[in-house]
Amino acid sequence: MSVRTDAGLIHEGMVGETVFLSGWVQRRRDLGQVIFLDLRDRTGLVQIVFSPEKNQEALEIAEKVRNEYVIEVKGTVVARNENTINTKIATGKVEIHVEHLTILNASKSLPFQIEANTDASEDIRLKYRYLDLRRPDMQETFKVRHQTTKLIRHFLDEQAFMEIETPMLTKSTPEGARDYLVPSRVHPGEFYALPQSPQIFKQLLMVSGFERYYQIVRCFRDEDLRADRQPEFTQIDIETSFMDKEDLLAMTEKMMVQIMKEIKGLETSTPFPRITYDEAMNRYGSDKPDTRFGMELIDLEEVVKDTDFKVFKTALTTGGTVKGLNLVGGAEQLSRKEIDSLTDFVKQYGAKGLAWLKVEDEGLKGPIAKFFTEEQSLSLREKMEAKSGDLLFFGADKKEVVWDSLGALRLKFGKQFELIDETKFNFLWVVDFPLVEFDEEAKRYVALHHPFTSPKKEDLAQLETEPAQVRAEAYDLVLNGYELGGGSQRIYKRDIQEKMFAALGFTKEAATEEFGFLLEAFEYGTPPHGGIALGLDRLVMLLSGRTNLRDTIAFPKTASASDLLTNAPSTVSLEQLLDLNLSVIAKKQKEA
């Protein structure tokens, strides 16, 4: 093994020792007769010194060295004078007097500096990702990622879980998000799909009797990307047999508690709070509420039911709802112009407008104040706990629109007015999700989680008659307003799975065609089972205090799913396409 010493671990106890170091030049100071370099390796920095007394030849070579050169040195550990001690680095009490220097590789001037805070654009950072990853904050993020992964594996090993790999070349299924397809060369006209999750395979492993499976696994979705989505992402994938919901939630909590303790040094109390889907939507307008601050949505149906304001009236008489949000002290914080601009903001979420009122000593002021009687005005203020100086916002529309728009507005205010305690890590279970939702585009019900989620036992009878009323035995884990992951108990009986497919509009033939193998598997002694999948990228993002998911992935894609470093995707040769029996359709052909 190499005799190389880790630069960042050199300490006073080593004074007098000869060391061999390799690494990068972080900084260079040339004082004429003496040259100081900061040498960096993966463990840290140490100052190395070249002087004519020690070695004239090394000094001459050192004159050629520039930032980010890769060098190898032999030298002696020497204690620094009291007044030259550098308290900013761990090795600041010593320096290395160099006897021998070799330049292993040179470096051109960098497009940006190797330092924690860079003002380089993200495009430049992605194009030179290999340099961006040298920056200390990025190095730290990947240490957190490695540690987190290691902890999770260790925890699950101790709970007798087995890591089992599932295929990447799988079958395309009609449910869920859009698949990435992989053409088959051997079977012309046929395709594999990259997995959106190992869902079916992990359930089949339960049929196989493995009982406790886990995998930290790549998954794929060919969806239009948002800031917190990537075409490929990593999932902590867990499935168990004979464990019920309470077992699984408790185990997941235990794992999270351990991660918070080891990575952040924080104690987290259990059980984590739970909230039903209905309550989450009603109170926070979100199925992944950020509970680090209040400002909850306030139900105003009762209070405004007699008002003359047409917008409210219409919403209530057409099955919609009216809700309010109180921005405490907001009257002074937002100008009229800023208030007006919020209308555009809520329109993104389908709202037609945004009603608002200022609370003053004399009463409510604002465009819609006139619609409220003295009494209505009073009960509104009471219900919204509004006092002078507060600014009230209202959503009146279909429930989903009110939830989405006021939920988004709540988050926006939370950030804008720094209402969020950023030191908090608020875990939350959201439970009792609807099993299905109606898809206006497809004109049929689709599974809210996936078609293998078990209905709650007490709602089972409604599966055939009123599927929209059925709640799922499903649970999402939310952390600080991010969905960390979701799990459920699964259907494990053929008849219930068939009813589920029927509720989703599958004919018997279609269900057999697509999922026949699973239905058949359920007839050979399938145990009750359930599982959960957690997003590793997102977890690491929150643990390392970052806001950009791409910072947690070594080689991420841009919003248009490109890799700016290697220029993927790219065109391929005609031979490659012919091998796959494919041709690319020109735009015109496609339109025809």
Rg (CA), the chain: 30
User: Hey, what amino acid is at 216?
Assistant: I
Cβ-based neighbours of 489, under 8 Å, separated by 6 or more: 244, 245, 453, 454, 473, 474, 528, 529, 530
Shortest distance, CB of residue 442 to its own copies, whole angstroms?
Answer: 12
| CB closer to its own copies, 460 vs 584 | 584
- Is residue 449 a known part of a binding site? yes
Q: Which stretch binds its own copies (CB under 8 A): 44-52, 128-136, 384-392, 443-451?
A: 128-136
| Residue from 418, 427, 399 nearest 288 by CA | 427
From the list 80, 153, 264, 383, which residue makes contact with its own copies (rule: CB under 8 A)?
153
- Is residue 537 a known part of a binding site? yes
279 sits near its own copies (criterion: CB under 8 A):
no
- Is residue 535 a known part of a binding site? yes
249 sits near its own copies (criterion: CB under 8 A):
no
Q: For residues 457-486, which are near its own copies according to CB under 8 A?
A: none
- Is residue 230 a known part of a binding site? yes
Q: For residues 523-552, which are near its own copies according to CB under 8 A?
A: 523-528
Cβ–Cβ < 8 Å for 550, 556: yes
How many residues touch its own copies under the rule CB under 8 A: the total is: 125
Whole-number Å distance between alpha carbons of 322 and 365: 19
- Is the CA virtual torsion 533, 538, 540, 545 positive or negative? negative
User: Could you tell me the two tokens for 569?
Assistant: 């995707």
| Residue from 357, 380, 376 nearest 367 by CA | 357
- Is residue 278 a known part of a binding site? no
E strands, 242-339, in order: 274-276, 298-299, 321-327
234 sits near its own copies (criterion: CB under 8 A):
yes
191 sits near its own copies (criterion: CB under 8 A):
yes
Cα–Cα distances (Å) from 244 to 30, 318, 500, 533, in that order, read 67, 40, 21, 16
Q: For residues 36-55, which are near its own copies according to CB under 8 A?
A: 40-42
From the list 86, 149, 268, 512, which residue makes contact with its own copies (rule: CB under 8 A)?
149
64 sits near its own copies (criterion: CB under 8 A):
no
Whole-number Å distance between alpha carbons of 99 and 54: 6
68-107 mask for its own copies (x: CB under 8 A)?
xxx-x-------------------------------xxxx
Whole-number Å distance between alpha carbons of 77 and 94: 7
| Residue from 470, 462, 504, 506 nearest 488 by CA | 470
| CB closer to its own copies, 187 vs 412 | 187
User: Could you tell me the two tokens for 537?
Assistant: 């990228």
Q: Which stretch binds its own copies (CB under 8 A): 82-90, 155-163, 271-279, 300-308?
A: 155-163
131 sits near its own copies (criterion: CB under 8 A):
yes
Whole-number Å distance between alpha carbons of 357 and 380: 11
Cβ–Cβ < 8 Å for 54, 98: yes
- Is residue 444 a known part of a binding site? no
Shortest distance, CB of residue 247 to its own copies, whole angstroms?
Answer: 5
- Is residue 536 a known part of a binding site? yes
Q: Which stretch binds its own copies (CB under 8 A): 88-96, 332-340, 425-433, 569-577?
A: 569-577
Residues annotated as binding site? 175, 221-223, 230, 449, 483, 490, 535-538
Question: Which residues define the annotated binding site for L-aspartate?
Answer: 175, 221, 449, 490
Annotated binding site for ATP: 221-223, 230, 483, 535-538
